[in-house]
Structure 1
Amino acid sequence: MTTFNKTGSRAIPSLQATVEEYIEPQTGARHIHLASDSGEMVFLVAFPTVPDVSDGRAHILEHLALCGSQRYPVRDPFFAMMRRSTATFMNAFTYADRTVYPFASTDKTDFLNLLDVYLDATFFPNLDYLNFLQEGWRHELKDGKLTYQGVVFNEMKGAFNDPIRALYSGVESTLLQGTTYEVESGGDPLVIPELTHAMLKEFHASHYHPSQAVFMTAGDISAAEVQEQIAKRVLSKLTGTASRMLPELAEGWTAPKVNEVRIPSQKAKADEYGLQLTWLMGESADMEAYYNAYLLSAGLLGDSSSPLMKAMESAGYGRPSRLNGHDNSPRQLIFHIGMEGLTEPQIEKARVRLWAALEKAAVDGVPIEALQAALRDIRYTQRDTASGRMPNALSRLLHALPVAMRDGSVFDSLDSDADLAKLEIAIQDPDYFKGLVRFLLESPTRLTTSVVPDAEYFTARDAVEEAQLAARTAALSDSERARIEADTAALDKHQKLPSNSEVLPRIRPDELSPQVRASLPLPPHQENGMAKILPFTIASNGLSYVRVAYDVSGFDAADWPWLHLYSDLASELGVGDMDYEDADAWRQRMAPSFNIGVDASQQPDGALRLELWFGASGLREEHAGIAELISRTLAETRFDEHERMAFLIDSDVQDRLNGLAQSGNRYAMLSAAAPLSQLRRFEDMTGGTASLPFEGQILKQSKTPEGIAAIAAKLSELHRRITAITPTVLSAGAGDDGKELGGLLVLPASEPVARAVAPAQTEVPLESAALHAVSQINHCVAAWRAPMLHEEGAAALAVAGELMTNQLLHTALREKGGAYGGSAGYTGSAGTFVMSSYRDPRLAETYADFNMAIDQMLETEFSQEELEEAILGVIKGMDKPNAPYDQVLHAWSLHQRGVDDTVRQRFRTDALNCTLENIRAVVRQWLKNGKPSRAAFAGNLTQDLSGLKGVDLLELANAA
């Protein structure tokens, strides 16, 4: 019997759902339910977490809550349930002012199982001291000296690699001084060791209570069914009410302020300074304030013709900051305008330029078409069903959550129609937008930040950490030393305990369908002389999609990085008689979504298939605009705007070089796998370590008139060669919309050509490399050649990867080693098997654990339950649902890879019937007897590199 009272309901046709709001009167707990016929059911519970120190208590509590609870006293129930359920999504997030625990599942029994576990984990966690040492931080003694260890401690060392994170924190701590946003919610590794276990338990007691909780659900399950379980498991045990915690509001200023923020840099070059202007605006739960901030972003920064974007891109120096635009994550809206890539003398010059552009925009305004396109984009987003990394319904709930937690209208946050109707009328008056700009000019709560690159950023932090440890080591008493040694021994014993997961509910493989879910069939294609058109009929929720794809498999390997450069630049150049500014505004008017990309797939024989595509989508009533956008881009893209191209190349390459440490995991992954797989080799040459010399070369070449002219000529010729190929058009929408949209395209003349085959590669990738950029963490990777999906042993290797991750690497790399993540996995599309660690404090020890894991796979007698959990992990990866248009792209991808439902069914059957004997056989054949290809990202080169050769990533790019 539920005690929740329904306080409101609203049908939202654009979501094909009804929003229901409930409150439990005895505690004040809130429940928001998005009722729909979706078979993917979603749940989350969120708590306001408003720390006033940077010791990471909210973040560490998030980790610890999932380490065992009253009803489920299991060492790691979160990771255990990941392998015991068919969940399509499981995670937990710590934001600056809230902590959220979401999951999703397509199976109702599984959903209710997970609901039970999540409720107990969040409201009744054990918060065990040893788990605090493992997940948060701890001292360890090595050679008589103290060191730090801990999952969150090392995770945050990796997070601090991001220069934009450092800039954002520096701005927010000043602009929102005196609030929870002033501190580092994830935890500053220099402050984390100040947190005690007792402080953490007190934080849970004060924040995790039904009076503070917001529950949210979505899908084809009744609100009452969820509420009954909440009442039974939580409300029957926790009573009482309290005022809901809200983040503090920052005080307004009487005059603008200035500050300086130092950000991590590899070399602190002269042109790595920046400027940021930031304003504090209204409350983010106020929909009018939110949409006004959105309009400011769209009108001032939306495209290259927008006043502020034009001022930045045409300055002749610097580039737009990646922080620009409105930010609704804090309780109060923030608006950013800034530039990066400046020299120190250019900071003031940039400030004057931006201010002048603002003043001009306050007088001239912006074209109403730009604002109308921005409102159209909101309607498009409202109807979009794409899932991305998480279920679409969960994305919507997470968007509405802060509004609900800040006492705003959750109905208005999910249903934009009424607000958009008001704005459509408001923007008819040019003074409306001008008034928004005048607010920025007149507001005293404005912060001007000078951004300073700091090559000693991590060196200084290391020095502080070392000084802390040295002081604590010197002051260490015998009793404290004994306690640390006892804690280390107790934790080691704790980590060796069996997981005791039998108390947790689970789904067994024999409960799953033995039949593979059939992929979407390709429709009969239509030839119109210009293209082969495949029109799909999908439940598109009023949106239409088109993709024009060119088979460029026959292009030489030397063209691959050029294809990547082409896909980056072509969507930002002029078209026909429009220069790049006019073309950018035109693209924005024509359709809300337009992209150019290159997809690679590996054939069953190992050959590479490459496809360069132009894709667009929009509301179904925008077919003419979508077709014009694609057609004119293909026929009339200009490559004569050399200054524009040089600016785009400089911006893209500099952003990439500034993010070397952030992308270290990707570089290591691709470098390790590139020698083993055509697919990974292509990815390495276009976005991995092997692409850095090209990036450096193209940057240098773009600096001279002759060089940029040669680049333009190469891209123009590439465009001619691409559009001379007869393309395949994927068009999709409701009813006959896909057919209609495909028929509106007017494509360049082309001639049918025989199917091209990618040339053999002769370049030798980097081998056994320790890829270096300055950082405080490592990423370790070892890769082996493996069978393709259709080959014998594929399914057994996939199960082996799950088993190795669950039973061996998770404990060795994360629990004991302190890495944020550690896993093994088989990829049938690339024909590789990979072991990896993420944000890892170790390197040589991790490679030793990789080797040990192979031997343990051959020697350990895993239980039937452990085997079944691994099988379940493989099968649920095949069963994850896709949004309608994602199904189209998935079907086309399978076709390109030569994978039909017969191959997929054989793989599924083999996985469901997999035995330990099968696993040992493939581990011995492919891993034990195979030769690994290793590559690591190494934060420093003074550590034991396990035989890897140091390669400086920045020098690799600059050596071109």
Structure 2
Amino acid sequence: MKKFTKITSILLTAGLLINSFSAVARGAQVARGAQVKSVTDICVKQGLEIGKSTSGFKLESKKWIEDIQSTAMIFKHVKSGAKLIYLQNEDENKVFSINFRTPVNDNTGVNHIIEHSVLCGSEKYPVKDPFLTMAKQSLNTYINALTGTDFTMYPVASKNEKDFNNLMSVYLDAVFYPNITKDPRILKQEGWHYEVNSKTGELNYNGIVYNEMKGNYSSPQVILSNAINGSLFTDNSYSYESGGNPDNIPDLTYNKFIETYKKYYVPSNSSIYLYGKLDIENTLKFMDDNYLSKLKKTTVDSVIKLQKPFERKVEKTELYPVAKDADIKNMTYLSSNYMMNKVKGVEEVLGFQILQGILLNAEASPLKKALVDGGIGTNVYGSFNPSTQQPIFSIFASNANETDKYKFENIIDDTLKKIVKDGFDEELVNSVFTAVEFGLHTQNSDANRGMNYMANAMNSWNYDMSPTEYLEITPALNLIKSKISQGYFEKLIQKYLLDNKHKSLVVLKPSNGLNEKKEQSLKNKLAEYKASLSEIELAKIKKDTQELKKWQDAEDSKENSSKLPTLSRKDLNSKAEEIPTIEKLEGNIKVLSHPMFTDGIIYSNIYFDSSKVPQDQILYLKLLANVLGNVSTEKYDIMQLSNKMMKDTGGISFNSTAFKNDTSTNGYAPKMIVSVNAMNSTLPKAYELLDEIMNHSKFDDKKRMKDLIKMVRTNYESMFVNGGNSLAMERTLSYLSDSGKYSDLGYLPYYDFICDLDDNFDTKFEKTVKNLNSVRNIVFNKEGLVVSYTGDEKNYAKFTDSLNSFGKKIEDKKFPRQEYKFDFSKKNEAFVIPSQVQYVVKAGSLKSAGYKYNGKMKVIENILNSDYLWKELRVKGGAYGGAMNFTKEDVLFYSYRDPNLKETLNTFDEAVKFLRNFKADEKEMTNYIIGTIGSMDGLTGPYDKGAIGDNMYFSGTTKEDIQKLRDEALSTTQEDIKNFADILEVVIKQNLYCVVGSESKVNANSDLFDRIIVPIKNSK
């Protein structure tokens, strides 16, 4: 299921890479080099000449951009005033988006709600949810809508030209002729409405965006971000929450809603983005004939007003919710924040993003080191957000003490002054630059790069700069490099940080039971309001609620549904894509080679058999994956190691996981996956560094180990609050199988283990070191070793040279395979977190019920998600989302940011009834199948394709198996869907579920659970 997303920050691709330069680089890249002439020829043949008009669009400029291997053509629609950029290249994945500049002046989330609402039917496509319908019956590779701090985007993408045109038509009609102007029920559904609980009689708020933002406001990071904006901006749009504050969303009136839509959703305020290999003349003609030529140019006041610079620092304190009995010691967030008064141009933006990497993102970063050494928090990091007109640079310390706030500030100031005086370490700067240059090789590698380029274009275009400003990085990077010796970065520090008076110190403190207090306050407020209503007014609310639900329940007429553009079966490729996988033997090491173009990057995954690790040491195996690469080695201290990783690799990572495989013991194969990526020229050094990390890492630095364990604990606690869905899913699947139990070890059991190590660190340190060394000795062995190579075929020989040298350093010891025994007595649990919403999961085992997975289940998945769960959970229930999916062995239902609990479990159960009553004619079945094939053919780049090929090998899946699933999906009939009801009923009656949610909601339904757990532990 596709979902709406609220965007708060979109960074330049290079900046993203700087922010995560130690992460694994992934994806595909369009072949480079031989495009310039062909693109130019196409432009000439199509008559696209600068200064001339085509279908009402005047071509204002055209140029080749080497960094993104595209020709950028900038147009202006003369009659309507719409702006358009087309990035022409050979990418088959075509992207369209229409974007609007949408500043805000309150916290009602009006633009966010409009973003949802315009996709709820339009003049040409008068169904209630064309967005969902197109998602379920098209070959789209991307379909979504995004709200930012001062913009709204409506992007779609597809590799199929007919499908691309269909999607573009639906989106253009949605934004210019939506049903919202004549149907107030859409605002009630997508935004908010009053609702009387039929059982308790209580008056409540409900609505999709309302519940989405209640989920958002359970996150300390979201609350902190809003507090920072509020501290630095007081006079303009950025002082407000564009997504909407749940306390203020109910203040939005229908008149304000429509007034805001009419003000901003006009061509003169739009920026249209096109990307990929498409017929530009026909595309321009379609937009002109059907939409833009019918709309007049208007004057729109959407300019983002500049915040007047402050004369002195601002200090602000905010609260975030934690459990009523949680220990709040060392739970404060500190942030020092600087507003840049209009950073201009790609050079300064890129320069500041690189500066952030130098200051804070590496272990050798001087500001990070100073704060860590000063005992400020457990995790220090930075953020530079250029996707606003006045960018913000922030320095954070989490799990800190409020009493250290001025010490935090003083360390920052003293360190920055010292850097300006003494300069940066040359090795650190060079390492960061190498990481950035590696990023330039991978910035086109994301399979959905067309979307990434749009984000970069909007970062400048939205503020009336050229949309190509942030697409040309190499010239700016070279200019920065030429200025380093002249103190380039030191001058940035002086200008934008030390001399900057427009800054703030924001403290985010934990507050015990804050959610519960807010819930009670809201309950009292609504009860008081209900008491003030006359019987007639209360009856009207009840009637409105009933009418809304009746409207939501009603099916679209076949006449209206048929107006949506569709594909046919002849548009489908009946053959599944084959992943090139060649099994080889190199020096007694099994190699899975995936030859494909990667522009000189080599992606390599090394799979060590971890099934020999004793059960009582599995959690140490997971700790080993966390600490490797983050502790000193015999040859390098942690600072040197950090620099080497940036300089010689595109990322080295370790991950303990397991592949499902019916031929393996207990049906799964535990592995330690080591991913090492590098340019072909630096691969030998990358493998040498990997040997040093694997075989010579030292775990005896008590301070470093304690800091790492504390950081892991902190990250898990953040994950439980922000990613409750993952916790609920993993725990529910752990009720079903040994493989589910093994996977779940990485969640709550591992967190409990880390908390124990943290709380009893001194007494357990020696045992921890001993176990880490023991596990390393067992895992990093040749027996069962498999290595995968994804890269250009011409570079394979270079890879094998490095692999053979590396292989000689791997031990070849023999250890017995372990048989793990798990306890399945615990089930149906609830986890209480500081949240205002729930994450509800229910699952069952196909395998234990005696059924086998087949491709028809993918079609059932599409039908249940789009026609049943979307309506019941999101549209009627108010949850932000929910879905179901099949794995090879299991069925999984889930909801997220859900105001309900028991009702959602009932909804999952009622899926059986829905399938039994399912009806669809041939055209409807064709549409379901088209959408299913679209989901099976998602965008994948080289790294992803290599990983898929590896997974097929370890799971025992053949290309014939993949084709069989596709054939089964293509042959699915209505009867297949109805017949599956009996199977689903058997599986659902296993009655296995888990909920992560608010204390009040969980306790109100306590009879459903065998255990109620508060997962986040108090620190000692």
**Of 62, 86, 91, which aligns to 1:9?**
62
Query: Which residue is 1:288 aligned to?
Result: 347
Matching residue's letter, 1:113: N
Offset of 1:34 from its aligned partner? 1.8
Matched, 1:607 2:667: yes
**Of 97, 101, 105, which aligns to 1:44?**
97
Higher RCO by CA contacts (8 Å cutoff, separation 6 or greater): 2
Offset of 1:54 from its aligned partner? 0.4
* Separation in structure 1 between the aligned mates of residue 810 and residue 380 of structure 2, nearest angstrom: 41
Matching residue's letter, 2:299: A
1:890-927 C-alpha deviation (Å, 9 max, x unpaired): 11111111111111111111111122333333331343
Q: Aligned in 2, Cα 1:497/1:458: closer, same or farther, shift over 3 Å?
A: same
Matching residue's letter, 1:109: K
* Separation in structure 1 between the aligned mates of residue 754 and residue 766 of structure 2, nearest angstrom: 17
Matched, 1:89 2:142: yes
Q: Where in structure 2 are the equivalents of 1:739-750 lying within 5 Å?
A: 739-745=797-803, 746-747=805-806, 749-750=809-810
**Of 822, 835, 838, which aligns to 2:882?**
822
Offset of 1:268 from its aligned partner? 5.2
Q: Aligned in 2, Cα 1:523/1:361: closer, same or farther, shift over 3 Å?
A: same
Offset of 1:566 from its aligned partner? 1.4
In terms of mean alpha carbon deviation, does 571-580 or 545-554 score higher?
545-554
TM-score with structure 1 setting the length: 0.94
Whether the 8 Å CA contact 2:789–2:946 is kept in 1: the answer is no
Matched, 1:433 2:433: no
* Separation in structure 2 between the aligned mates of residue 756 and residue 536 of structure 1, nearest angstrom: 31
Query: Which residue is 2:991 aligned to?
Result: 932
Offset of 1:314 from its aligned partner? 2.2
Q: Aligned in 2, Cα 1:268/1:232: closer, same or farther, shift over 3 Å?
A: farther
Q: Aligned in 2, Cα 1:755/1:648: closer, same or farther, shift over 3 Å?
A: closer
* Separation in structure 2 between the aligned mates of residue 871 and residue 71 of structure 1, nearest angstrom: 24
Matching residue's letter, 2:378: R
Matched, 1:176 2:233: yes
Whether the 8 Å CA contact 2:597–2:942 is kept in 1: the answer is yes
Whether the 8 Å CA contact 2:136–2:932 is kept in 1: the answer is no
Matching residue's letter, 1:744: S
Query: Which residue is 1:833 aligned to?
Result: 891
Whether the 8 Å CA contact 2:193–2:205 is kept in 1: the answer is yes
Aligned residue-pair number: 949
* Separation in structure 2 between the aligned mates of residue 386 and residue 681 of structure 1, nearest angstrom: 38
Matched, 1:561 2:619: yes
Offset of 1:789 from its aligned partner? 15
Query: Which residue is 1:695 aligned to?
Result: 754
Whether the 8 Å CA contact 1:30–1:213 is kept in 2: the answer is yes
Query: Which residue is 1:944 aligned to?
Result: 1005
* Separation in structure 2 between the aligned mates of residue 59 and residue 307 of structure 1, nearest angstrom: 40
Query: Which residue is 1:31 aligned to?
Result: 84
1:360-391 C-alpha deviation (Å, 9 max, x unpaired): 22222212332233333333333316776x71
Offset of 1:490 from its aligned partner? 1.6
* Separation in structure 1 between the aligned mates of residue 815 and residue 79 of structure 2, nearest angstrom: 69
* Separation in structure 2 between the aligned mates of residue 674 and residue 290 of structure 1, nearest angstrom: 46
**Of 765, 768, 782, which aligns to 1:725?**
782
Matched, 1:391 2:391: no
Whether the 8 Å CA contact 1:814–1:822 is kept in 2: the answer is yes
Secondary structure, aligned partner of 1:732: strand
Matching residue's letter, 2:493: V
Whether the 8 Å CA contact 1:785–1:926 is kept in 2: the answer is no
In terms of mean alpha carbon deviation, does 249-258 or 738-747 score higher?
738-747
Offset of 1:200 from its aligned partner? 0.9
**Of 457, 478, 481, which aligns to 1:400?**
457
Query: Which residue is 2:362 aligned to?
Result: 303
**Of 272, 278, 286, which aligns to 2:331?**
272
* Separation in structure 1 between the aligned mates of residue 402 and residue 1019 of structure 2, nearest angstrom: 26
Q: Which residues of structure 2 form unaligned runs of 5+?
A: 1-53
* Separation in structure 2 between the aligned mates of residue 533 and residue 201 of structure 1, nearest angstrom: 60
TM-score with structure 2 setting the length: 0.89
Offset of 1:685 from its aligned partner? 0.8
Matching residue's letter, 2:579: S
Offset of 1:424 from its aligned partner? 1.0
Secondary structure, aligned partner of 1:335: strand
**Of 107, 113, 135, which aligns to 2:190?**
135
* Separation in structure 1 between the aligned mates of residue 501 and residue 330 of structure 2, nearest angstrom: 30
In terms of mean alpha carbon deviation, does 772-781 or 934-943 score higher?
934-943
* Separation in structure 2 between the aligned mates of residue 202 and residue 286 of structure 1, nearest angstrom: 34
Offset of 1:156 from its aligned partner? 0.6
Matching residue's letter, 1:136: G
1:486-511 C-alpha deviation (Å, 9 max, x unpaired): 31122122112213422111224454
* Separation in structure 1 between the aligned mates of residue 243 and residue 822 of structure 2, nearest angstrom: 46
Matched, 1:874 2:935: no
Whether the 8 Å CA contact 2:123–2:177 is kept in 1: the answer is yes
Matched, 1:669 2:669: no
Query: Which residue is 2:965 aligned to?
Result: 907
Query: Which residue is 2:29 aligned to?
Result: none
Query: Which residue is 1:761 aligned to?
Result: 821
Secondary structure, aligned partner of 1:427: helix
1:325-349 C-alpha deviation (Å, 9 max, x unpaired): 3122322111111322223333333
Q: Aligned in 2, Cα 1:190/1:449: closer, same or farther, shift over 3 Å?
A: same
Offset of 1:212 from its aligned partner? 1.0
Secondary structure, aligned partner of 1:882: coil
Q: Aligned in 2, Cα 1:709/1:248: closer, same or farther, shift over 3 Å?
A: farther
Matched, 1:461 2:518: yes
Offset of 1:945 from its aligned partner? 4.4
1:244-263 C-alpha deviation (Å, 9 max, x unpaired): 72322211112222111222
Q: Aligned in 2, Cα 1:490/1:285: closer, same or farther, shift over 3 Å?
A: farther
Matched, 1:504 2:559: no
In terms of mean alpha carbon deviation, does 435-444 or 940-949 score higher?
940-949
Q: Where in structure 2 are the equivalents of 1:828-907 lying within 5 Å?
A: 828=888, 831-907=889-965
Whether the 8 Å CA contact 2:231–2:315 is kept in 1: the answer is no
* Separation in structure 2 between the aligned mates of residue 263 and residue 432 of structure 1, nearest angstrom: 39
Q: Aligned in 2, Cα 1:862/1:554: closer, same or farther, shift over 3 Å?
A: farther
Q: Which residues of structure 1 form unaligned runs of 5+?
A: none
Query: Which residue is 2:35 aligned to?
Result: none
Q: Aligned in 2, Cα 1:554/1:790: closer, same or farther, shift over 3 Å?
A: farther
* Separation in structure 2 between the aligned mates of residue 782 and residue 341 of structure 1, nearest angstrom: 34
Q: Where in structure 2 are the equivalents of 1:401-420 lying within 5 Å?
A: 401-420=458-477
Whether the 8 Å CA contact 1:608–1:758 is kept in 2: the answer is no
Query: Which residue is 2:502 aligned to?
Result: 445
Offset of 1:162 from its aligned partner? 0.9
Whether the 8 Å CA contact 1:677–1:832 is kept in 2: the answer is no
Q: Aligned in 2, Cα 1:69/1:310: closer, same or farther, shift over 3 Å?
A: same
Offset of 1:669 from its aligned partner? 1.0
Q: Where in structure 2 are the equivalents of 1:52-451 lying within 5 Å?
A: 52-127=105-180, 128-142=183-197, 143-242=200-299, 245-266=302-323, 267=326, 269-283=328-342, 286-321=345-380, 324-384=382-442, 391-429=448-486, 431-439=487-495, 440-451=497-508
* Separation in structure 2 between the aligned mates of residue 857 and residue 757 of structure 1, nearest angstrom: 44
Secondary structure, aligned partner of 1:20: strand
Secondary structure, aligned partner of 2:218: coil
Whether the 8 Å CA contact 1:574–1:583 is kept in 2: the answer is yes
Whether the 8 Å CA contact 2:846–2:852 is kept in 1: the answer is no
Across the aligned residues of Structure 1 and Structure 2, the Cα RMSD in angstroms comes to 2.5
Offset of 1:295 from its aligned partner? 2.5
Q: Aligned in 2, Cα 1:639/1:548: closer, same or farther, shift over 3 Å?
A: same
1:684-741 C-alpha deviation (Å, 9 max, x unpaired): 1112x34332232222233x1x422321221122222222235333233334223313
Whether the 8 Å CA contact 1:47–1:214 is kept in 2: the answer is yes
* Separation in structure 1 between the aligned mates of residue 194 and residue 873 of structure 2, nearest angstrom: 17
Offset of 1:527 from its aligned partner? 1.6
Query: Which residue is 2:541 aligned to?
Result: 484
Matching residue's letter, 1:344: E
